[in-house]
Amino acid sequence: MTMPEADTRTARTVRELESDDPSVRLRAALAAGTTPDPGAIGALVERCAVEPEFSVRDMLTWALTRHPAAVTVPVLVGELRSERAQARSQALHTLSKVGDRQAWPAITPALLCDADDEVARSAWRTAVVLVPEGEEQELAVVLASQLGRGGRETQLSLSRALIALGEATAPALTAATTDPDPRVRAHARATERLWRDPDAGFEFAIEEAKRLVALGGAGREGR
């Protein structure tokens, strides 16, 4: 492909990603991933920050994963400093799909404890994917500090992230079962239950944990 042809394709992608028609934006993202165009990476990342349609965002992420990580990761890491929550959340999600551990230093405690639940949830999932061997326990401590926050979906996301870290989670989770805050204790116990019995379901686990907390922790089971 000659340089003018590449420039023309990039310009078309940029233009179509700004279309009011979501089907046009979806096709543009699909085309950008089918025939990777490094010149379009900036436009793809920028669109992630504002795209309202889930299917289009999903395709944007896929398109970015089709490009070399050496090119996409620095741009995505830059988005983690954005003031726009969706920009941070979608960049984190995309980094988890790229799976390049060079991005690990950018997964800061500030992101893991982000005030926006969607950003925090994306950060938890991404951290579990990117955490270097030997740093799982340190990550578990930060994740455990978020126990008790948010609604059911947020709590379930955190429980899954903690469980994914395996035995490195155990000390932080055990400590959380004696936290002064009953919401933290209940969430920690529910996570332990879900870890022991994945088929129990989170709703059952959290309700049982609340009952135990209300009873003062009587009958606590070991893992």
The angle at the Cα of 46, spanning 58 to 14, to the nearest 5 degrees, equals 90
Per-residue confidence (pLDDT) for residue 86, from 0 to 100:
98
pTM: predicted TM-score of the whole model, two decimal places: 0.87
- Structural domain boundaries in the chain: 136-223
Per-residue confidence (pLDDT) for residue 209, from 0 to 100:
64
What type of residue is 195? W
Per-residue confidence (pLDDT) for residue 197, from 0 to 100:
84
What band does 219 get if pLDDT is binned at 50, 70 and 90?
A: very low
What band does 30 get if pLDDT is binned at 50, 70 and 90?
A: very high
Give the C-alpha distances (Å, rounded to integers) separating 169 from 67, 102, 164, 192: 34, 23, 9, 10
User: What secondary structure does DSSP assign to 76-135, as a single string?
Assistant: HHHHTT-SSHHHHHHHHHHHHHH--GGGGGGS-HHHHT-SSHHHHHHHHHHHHHHPPTT-
Q: What is the pLDDT of residues 157-214, one digit of tens each?
A: 999 999 999 999 999 999 999 999 999 999 999 999 899 888 766 666 666 666 666 6
